[in-house]
Amino acid sequence: MVIKKINGGITAAQGYRAAGLSCGIKKSKNKDLAIVYSESPATSAAVFTTNHFKAAPVLLSIDKIKNKTIRAILINSGNANACTGEKGMKDAIKLVSLTAEKLNVNQNEVHISSTGIIGELLPMYKLENGIDKLVPLLSKSGNSDAAEAIMTTDKVSKQIAYSFELPSDGTKIKIGGMAKGSGMIHPNMATMLGFITTDLSIKKELLQKALKAVVDLSFNKISVDGDQSTNDSVFLMANAKAGNNQIVKEDDDYYAFFEVLQRLTVYLAKSIVYDGEGATRFITIQVNNAGTIEEADLISRKIANSNLVKTACFGGDPNWGRIVAALGSCDIEFDKNKVTVSINNRKLFNKGVPINIKKEDLMGLMESKEILIEVNLLKGNEKVEFWTSDLSYDYVKINAEYHT
Amino acid sequence: MVIKKINGGITAAQGYRAAGLSCGIKKSKNKDLAIVYSESPATSAAVFTTNHFKAAPVLLSIDKIKNKTIRAILINSGNANACTGEKGMKDAIKLVSLTAEKLNVNQNEVHISSTGIIGELLPMYKLENGIDKLVPLLSKSGNSDAAEAIMTTDKVSKQIAYSFELPSDGTKIKIGGMAKGSGMIHPNMATMLGFITTDLSIKKELLQKALKAVVDLSFNKISVDGDQSTNDSVFLMANAKAGNNQIVKEDDDYYAFFEVLQRLTVYLAKSIVYDGEGATRFITIQVNNAGTIEEADLISRKIANSNLVKTACFGGDPNWGRIVAALGSCDIEFDKNKVTVSINNRKLFNKGVPINIKKEDLMGLMESKEILIEVNLLKGNEKVEFWTSDLSYDYVKINAEYHT
């Protein structure tokens, strides 16, 4: 199948408009309010954080997503509206009502998504004024403003779009997305937001199934610092504007869509890691020949979240001992004498014993911007790929100075 | 009971001698070889790392500790003799033999313990020469040299000793210990070594039971960076020189000993955190009114190992939202509306909602060297205290530059 990269991000697919502006939540005056809008009701799917302290907008969306269709999502950065009690929930509901009114759509079809500082009430006056100005800005070219307005400590905005043809009848489908990430990124989707739009026609159950599956293979396979958030959400809208025969079962069309959706979410997930707080290197961890997906997943997370491994990567130091120690600390059965560890395709630990390489010969091995760490258990046939960033001075700086 | 702090560390108790010197493992020429020796056979107990990749000296000791008594422990820093295969094991055995020969004791009663870089073979020539010089140095005043020689990235050596009287007959008992820690410190005793000596007479089974229990309350309640090591070990020797009636059951004498042993191990554990790599603050995490010890433990670890919490502490930023987010990410049932979080005795989050405090009023709240984070679940009666350090620029520096 030919998958074509196209411009337009979240508004690339037919029938979508977006906008973004600064309403004053952020002191920096950077954009902090965005909206994504579908000209007709779109089938909706979403995946949310598993954190106990789900933010008000997340709790609201978990309820609303049960509705079959969606028209718009309002997104603000700078304030997460998390741990804000009843007032926070009232605020979220009020902003949704206001947006629905402005758009002249049913408020059941409008969602709100927030990211930023935890535990502070939303500056409602600023948001209300912001919505007034934002809705008239909705346009086919608003994608970049929206992608910018959802950023927190992100350094660059993240958007992508693809087109492809359905195998059954060649209908051209477009799909676009945007995301924000940076700190607190963790397997269970911490403090990351993702928004995806497509003009495909597909049954709600299948849309949800596909989204859940690709999120597990993308946003749930990244980590910047191992923390989880109160606000993580990924939304997917499908408004059927492409005019294809609705996908109602897991046929070739479904798998074609799934493939593109996976490529899109993996692209966005990797973009989040590239832009991880203070990240200087992009680290891929491959756990191969594990007994089960679950154990491969556990091992890859353990290595990815090891501060010792992450600082070694920052220092460009091929300290495979730290990788082995992280692996060894996993509560999983495996044969130590079968374990192999490679860094950037260079085998350093072979079937349980180190390979004798002079230090000089390892110089430069990890000086690359991208680092590949491979662990082979020689146990079964399952594998997992996981992406993370290094731990740098700037990570500490950004996170020590974020709040006050 | 009166517990008196005394001098002498590992040689404070009757019948113990120690020594430490530089044998050249460390390029720095700092001391790197130590020995602890009991003039008569001592009852032995030990607790070891749970890492799959146990270093050769650990594997050897797990086997040897089954012997009833122990006479000496040789300890080297600078090289962990971990992931070194059969050769590593042969080397460990050879050094034990050599030490036993020099001391004229049975080699079954000699242990070896190593810490430092993983995956490199021991420089045997240096160690063999070192042992030749080390054994003649054994003395009652060798405790400080030994405590220094076991250090890796530690900035200060860690030793302590106490005396107390047994409740049954007033026999004076002495107990001393030393430890090394710094990076890779984690609940499951990662890359920390501890050595404790006492002149108490006690049954081996009770000695082991007491050690296991206090390690859970001390060395297993600390974390610097959440990583686990291949070499962690805590040894306890009891040579009966005090002449008390042997403790053979869990009577008052046993509990008196237990109390002092716990005080000693908690002191050493906290010393390790104070000296954590790059640590600028000492953080105590108290989880109160949890349903079970296990869940209190899990929550305290999750908060202690959150890089976002640790960097906030470094920045002196009372960002309780990160504490709540870490708590919320634990897979434990609790009522969100009962959760209270305090920092340095100031309540910031009360029964599920933030307390409205002006930012100015929070300035300075976390500028103290010691930070107390309290989480109350209002669920049950169990509590856990856990100790960790902040995450600073220096942590990154030390760990990015440790190896090459």
- pLDDT, tens digit, 9 for 90 and up, residues B79-92: 999 988 899 999 99
Q: Which tokens belong to B207?
A: 């000695």
- A311 interface with B at CB cutoff 8 Å: yes
Q: How far apart are CA A376 and CA A339, in angstroms?
A: 6
Is residue A43 part of the annotated active site? The answer reads: no
Q: In Å, how far is B324's CA from the nearest CA of chain A?
A: 7
B170 vs B311, residue with greater confidence: B170
The bridge status of strand B222-223 relative to strand B382-389 is parallel
CB B68 within 8 A of CB B112: no
Phi/psi of residue B71, nearest 5 degrees: -115, -35
Q: Is the pLDDT of residue B110 over 90?
A: yes
Distances B276 to A325, B389, B395 between C-alpha atoms, Å: 19, 6, 8
Residue B384: what pLDDT? Answer: 94
Residue B222: what pLDDT? Answer: 87
CB B238 within 8 A of CB B201: yes
Residue A224: what pLDDT? Answer: 58
Strand blocks (E) in B166-260: 172-180, 193-198, 222-223, 233-238
Place of tokens 């909206």: A35
**Cross-chain CB nearest to A226 (options B82, B307, B311):** B307
Q: Which residues contact A62 (CB under 8 A, 6 or more apart)?
A: A48, A54
The candidate with the shortest Cα–Cα distance to B44, out of B126, B115, B113, is B113
**Cross-chain CB nearest to B328 (options A53, A80, A362):** A53
Q: In Å, how far is B386's CA from the nearest CA of chain A?
A: 19
Q: Which residues contact A401 (CB under 8 A, 6 or more apart)?
A: B315, B317
For B347-372, what is the mean pLDDT? Answer: 87
Q: Is the pLDDT of residue B187 over 50?
A: no
Within 355-374 of B, beta carbons closer than 8 Å to A belong to 359, 362-363
- DSSP string covering B116-143, please? EESS----HHHHHHHHHHHGGG-BTT-H
> Is the C-alpha dihedral spanning A60, A66, A71, A73 positive or negative?
positive
Residue B401: what pLDDT? Answer: 65
**Cross-chain CB nearest to A391 (options B229, B362, B396):** B396
Residue A364: what pLDDT? Answer: 83
**CA A358 centroid distance within chain:** 40
Residue range B4-52, pLDDT digits in tens = 999 999 999 999 999 999 999 998 899 999 999 999 999 999 999 888 8
The candidate with the shortest Cα–Cα distance to A260, out of A47, A90, A12, A50, is A12
Q: How far apart are CA A54 and CA A67, in angstroms?
A: 20
Using 50, 70 and 90 to split pLDDT, how confident is the model at B269? very high
Q: Quick one: closest CA in A to B225, which residue?
A: A307
Using a CB-CB cut-off of 8 Å, the residues of chain A touching B190 are 325, 329
Which residue in B307, B392, B397 has the most chain A C-beta atoms within 10 A of its own C-beta, making it the best mutation to test that interface?
A: B307
The candidate with the shortest Cα–Cα distance to B121, out of B95, B155, B147, B101, is B95
Q: Which tokens belong to B353?
A: 């909602």
Q: How far apart are CA B339 and CA B337, in angstroms?
A: 6
Which residue in B118, B347, B351 has the most chain A C-beta atoms within 10 A of its own C-beta, making it the best mutation to test that interface?
A: B118
Q: Is the pLDDT of residue B56 over 50?
A: yes
Residue B325: what pLDDT? Answer: 86
Q: How far apart are CA A119 and CA B354, in angstroms?
A: 6
CB B264 within 8 A of CB B196: yes
Q: How far apart are CA A193 and CA B151, in angstroms?
A: 45
> A230 and B404 in contact by Cβ < 8 A?
no
Residue range B127-145, pLDDT digits in tens = 999 999 999 999 999 999 9
Using 50, 70 and 90 to split pLDDT, how confident is the model at B225? low
> A315 and B393 in contact by Cβ < 8 A?
no
> A329 and B118 in contact by Cβ < 8 A?
no
B69-94 burial, b at 16+ Cβ within 10 Å, e below that, comes to bbbbbbbbbbbbbbbbeeebbebbee
Distances B395 to A94, B148, B184, B224 between C-alpha atoms, Å: 45, 21, 11, 10
Q: Is the pLDDT of residue B400 over 90?
A: no
CB B324 within 8 A of CB B369: no
Q: In Å, how far is A254's CA from the nearest CA of chain B?
A: 33
Residue B25: what pLDDT? Answer: 95
Phi/psi of residue A324, nearest 5 degrees: -65, -40
Question: What region, left, alpha or beta, does residue B251 occupy, with left being phi > 0 and alpha being psi -120 to 50 degrees?
Answer: beta
Q: Which of A191, A197, A230, A388 is catalytic?
A: A191
For B382-398, what is the mean pLDDT? Answer: 85
- Catalytic center residues of B: 191
Distances A264 to A180, A197, A251, A271 between C-alpha atoms, Å: 14, 11, 20, 11
Q: Is the pLDDT of residue B156 over 50?
A: yes
- DSSP string covering A94-129, please? HHHHHHHHHHTS-GGGEEEEEEEESS----HHHHHH
Distances A288 to A100, A301, A378, B255 between C-alpha atoms, Å: 49, 14, 8, 50
Within 74-133 of A, beta carbons closer than 8 Å to B belong to 80, 82-85, 117-120
CB A282 within 8 A of CB A389: yes
> A315 and B84 in contact by Cβ < 8 A?
no
Q: Is the pLDDT of residue B188 over 50?
A: no
Which residue in A50, A53, A117, A327 has the most chain B C-beta atoms within 10 A of its own C-beta, making it the best mutation to test that interface?
A: A53
pLDDT tens track, chain A, 404 positions: 999 999 999 999 999 999 999 999 998 899 999 999 999 999 999 999 888 889 999 999 999 999 999 999 999 999 999 988 899 999 999 999 999 999 999 999 999 999 988 888 999 999 999 999 999 999 999 999 999 999 988 889 999 999 999 999 999 999 999 999 865 444 333 478 999 999 999 999 999 999 999 999 999 898 755 555 788 899 999 999 999 999 999 999 999 999 999 999 999 999 998 887 778 899 999 999 999 999 999 999 999 988 888 888 888 888 888 899 889 889 899 999 999 999 999 999 999 888 888 877 887 888 899 999 999 999 999 999 999 988 887 777 777 765 53
This complex has an ipTM of: 0.79
Q: Which tokens belong to B20?
A: 């430490």
Q: Which tokens belong to B76?
A: 């080297």
